[in-house]
Amino acid sequence: SERHRHRYDFNNSYRKALEDAGIRFAGLSPNGELVEIIEIPQHPWFLACQFHPEFKSKPLDPHPLFAAFIHAALVRKLKAQNMKQ
């Protein structure tokens, strides 16, 4: 389980419109009512979360979201370098 430090919730009345626009609801609460994570699959790395991954992250053991972000940044950098060559 992830840690939260807020009282904000996603308004589910916008869910269908956002899904139709290409947003994927990638993480939900155990009861399926609260949106925890959204993504845009067509984007190289677009992710938003309601929780605080930094609360469970350590320098030598980063939260998977941070590791994924660094990986995506590295892939982008390598692609840019290859395009210059």
Give residue 73's domain range.
12-84
Evaluate whether residue 75 is within a structural domain.
Answer: yes
The CB density around residue 73, as the number of other CB atoms within 10 Å, is 12
Evaluate whether residue 5 is within a structural domain.
Answer: no
- Averaged over 27-53, what is the pLDDT? 91
Handedness of CA 46, 49, 55, 60 (dihedral sign): negative
Evaluate whether residue 43 is within a structural domain.
Answer: yes
Evaluate whether residue 3 is within a structural domain.
Answer: no
Evaluate whether residue 45 is within a structural domain.
Answer: yes
CA–CA dist 79, 63 (Å, integer): 25
pLDDT digit string, tens, across residues 5-20: 777 888 999 999 999 9
CA–CA dist 62, 71 (Å, integer): 12
Evaluate whether residue 78 is within a structural domain.
Answer: yes
Q: What is the CA radius of gyration of the chain?
A: 16
- The predicted structure's pLDDT at residue 63: 92
**Distance between start and end Cα atoms, the chain:** 45
